[in-house]
């Protein structure tokens, strides 16, 4: 149990350090930023966001911009940190998605708590795993379209340690 206590203390210390490091940049990029839809979003205020990380929860203070024509908010720091529309850090999202694909969501939440000391609800594990699956599907679809369009050429498989080249999906005539 001493190990678990030390791990918890080190994670808390790491979360505190991470929070301080991220506080060095609030994401303020001047009075206006591009909204991504051809307009300019104006700076409104600084807003706080709680993010769950592999080290534990942290809070970041970041610049919030609003685009009147689009009617939506823009937070450059969220984009930079990879947490736009999310409350899990990229590292924790990856861990959660992997656990969620390895076991039923409730068991995955239990594994995260037991092995990493991270407590997430079953629903958050489910959402993370589903988001990762949707992202992987989108990437695979884009790559498939690029290959079929001829804009990307798939690389041949690397040679085996013995120097032979593995067959590709279909066996062709062997060359001697």
Residues with Cβ within 8 Å of residue 16, at least 6 apart in sequence: none
Share of the chain above pLDDT 90, in %: 74
Cα separation of 41 and 2, whole Å? Answer: 51
Q: What is the pLDDT of residues 105-136, one digit of tens each?
A: 999 999 999 999 999 999 999 999 998 899 99
pTM of this prediction? 0.77
Per domain, the residue ranges of the chain are 1-84, 88-153
Average predicted confidence (pLDDT) for the chain: 90
Cα separation of 60 and 48, whole Å? Answer: 6
Q: What is the pLDDT of residues 53-63, one digit of tens each?
A: 999 999 999 99
Q: What is the pLDDT of residues 146-157, one digit of tens each?
A: 888 888 777 777
CA distance between the termini of the chain: 62
Residue 76 clears pLDDT 90, i.e. is over it: yes
């Amino acid at each position: 149990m001493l190990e678990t206590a030390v791990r918890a203390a080190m994670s808390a210390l790491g979360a505190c350090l991470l929070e301080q490091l991220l506080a060095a940049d609030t994401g303020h990029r001047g009075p206006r930023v591009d909204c991504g839809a051809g307009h300019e979003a104006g700076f409104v205020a600084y807003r706080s966001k709680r993010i769950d990380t592999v080290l534990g929860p942290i809070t970041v203070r970041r610049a919030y911009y609003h685009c009147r024509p689009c009617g939506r908010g823009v937070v450059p720091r969220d984009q930079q940190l990879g947490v736009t529309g999310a409350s899990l850090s990229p590292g924790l999202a990856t861990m959660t998605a992997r656990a969620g694909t390895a076991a039923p969501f409730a068991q995955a939440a239990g594994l995260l708590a037991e092995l990493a000391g991270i407590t997430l609800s079953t629903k958050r594990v489910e959402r993370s795993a589903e988001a990762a699956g949707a992202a992987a599907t989108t990437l695979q679809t884009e790559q498939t379209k690029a290959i079929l369009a001829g804009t990307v050429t798939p690389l041949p498989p690397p040679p085996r340690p013995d120097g032979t080249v593995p067959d590709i999906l279909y066996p062709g005539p062997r060359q001697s």
